[in-house]
Structure 1
Amino acid sequence: MNYVYIVECSDGTFYTGWTNNLEKRIEMHSNGIGAKYTKGRGPVKLAYHEIFEDKRDAMRREYEIKRLTRREKSLLIKEYSTNL
């Protein structure tokens, strides 16, 4: 499985990424070793995720989400939270 995810950093900003081990990746971000952007912005909170069979599809979706505005990402997260 491949995951595209959005985490909310402790400073309120969002970070989008992809991984094949979501739990481990979130833990890495929270410990400051997940990505340069999230280093020093932890702990992070998982706000959104999607599941893909194919790595290329996950990476394509990550790119699409990264191009969204903050407002659009917030709406995506809100819709996701409502459907849980």
Structure 2
Amino acid sequence: MAKYFFYVLLCADGTFYGGYSTDVTARVATHNAGKGAKYTKTRRPVRLIYSAGFDNEHDALSAEWHFKHQSRAAKEAFLAAHQVHW
């Protein structure tokens, strides 16, 4: 069973936020409480639209890094390829 997760949030302003966690449900709640990342504090509420599990931390962090360093169009293409509709 996966222990590490890469996730994507849809922020209230329509932007995407990619993150990493070992407990996605708790992490989304933390974001919505305004105690998550600086980026999401002013863009609440956030909604989980995608998550993927990994067996090791390196792969989950790599997925997060690659997502964050893409253009908006590339992020939308990634989500569409994974059948995510926001």
1:12-64 deviations in Å (ceiling 9; x for gaps): 11111100000000111111111000002111011211110101111111111
1:79 is displaced (CA, Å) by: 2.3
Q: Distance in 2 between matches of 1:36 and 1:30?
A: 12
For 2:34 and 2:83, the matched residues in 1 are separated by 26
1:50 matched to 2:42? The reply is no
Give the Cα separation in 2 of the matches to 1:16 and 1:63. Answer: 8
Tell me the percent identity.
35
Alignment of 1:24-63 (within 5 A): 24-63=26-65
Partner SS, residue 51 of structure 2: strand
* Structure 1 Cα separation of the partners of residues 60 and 34 of structure 2: 23
CA distance in 2, matches of 1:4, 1:76: 13
- Equivalent residue letter for 1:29: H
Number of matched pairs: 82
Aligned equivalent of 2:72: 70
Poorly superposed stretches of 4+, deviation over 4 Å: none
SS in 2 for 1:12: coil
Secondary structure of the structure 2 residue equivalent to 1:62: helix
TM (norm. structure 1) is 0.89
Structure 1 stretches of 5 or more lacking a match? Answer: none
Gaps of at least 5 residues in structure 2 are none
